[in-house]
Amino acid sequence: MRKYERIPIVVDAVQFTGGAESAAEVIAAAGLGDSAYLKLADEAEAVSVATLAGAVLMRPGQWLVPIGRWVTDGVELKADWAILSDAEFQANYRPAGTGDEACDFGKAFAAVRNGGKARRDAWADGMSIYWEPHWSPGKDAKASQPMFALTLVDGSVVPWRPSDTDFSATDWRVFG
């Protein structure tokens, strides 16, 4: 049997802690209507979250985590959600940007392709890469192609190709 490692990705997650304010945060994150916040007969609270499998009641202490987004021509068509217990969430996620271990280019590449950003310790503060699925060198959208984009210290963005040094480096940091 082979071993597998979870690909490091950054997700926007929100925990429902109970109460109208926490429910409003979940409702905004999932794009739900105000009627999604429910007061149940036993005085318990829940947020009704629409998933591809149907409506799921999210109880206090649970986490809302995106598990898929379907986008066509830049328009988001559908998002799906997982509702996780606090134990499940804590076992599988940590706050973004707090990873204290460096990684190699392979792990950084996987994270960037899944929506994260990465930087090298050797780079100046403020520099990072991200994946741009539709990079176009000009106004011709037909000439667009997927590629890495490098954010420079001044905030400008340029196309980027990794060097041999970048490929072999083990000082990559992944963040949100």
The tens digit of pLDDT for each residue in 84-122 reads 899 988 888 776 655 557 889 988 888 888 788 999 999
Is the same domain home to 113 and 88? no
pLDDT at 72 over 70: no
The torsion of the CA quartet 68, 74, 78, 84, rounded to 10 degrees, works out to 30
Q: Is residue 111 part of a domain?
A: yes
Which of the listed residues 59, 92, 125 is the one where a domain comes to its end? 92
What pTM, to 2 d.p., does this model score? 0.52
Our count of domains for the chain comes to 2
Q: Is residue 1 part of a domain?
A: no
Is the same domain home to 66 and 122? no
* Nearest-angstrom CA–CA distance, 23 and 31: 12
Which of the listed residues 61, 92, 123 is the one where a domain comes to its end? 92
Which pLDDT score is estimated for 135? 76
Is the same domain home to 67 and 20? yes
Which of the listed residues 60, 92, 124 is the one where a domain comes to its end? 92
Q: Higher pLDDT residue, 68 or 114?
A: 114
163: which residues sit within 8 A by CB, 6+ positions away? none
What would the mean pLDDT of 8-15 be, rounded to a whole number? 77
Residue span of the structural domain in which 28 resides: 14-92
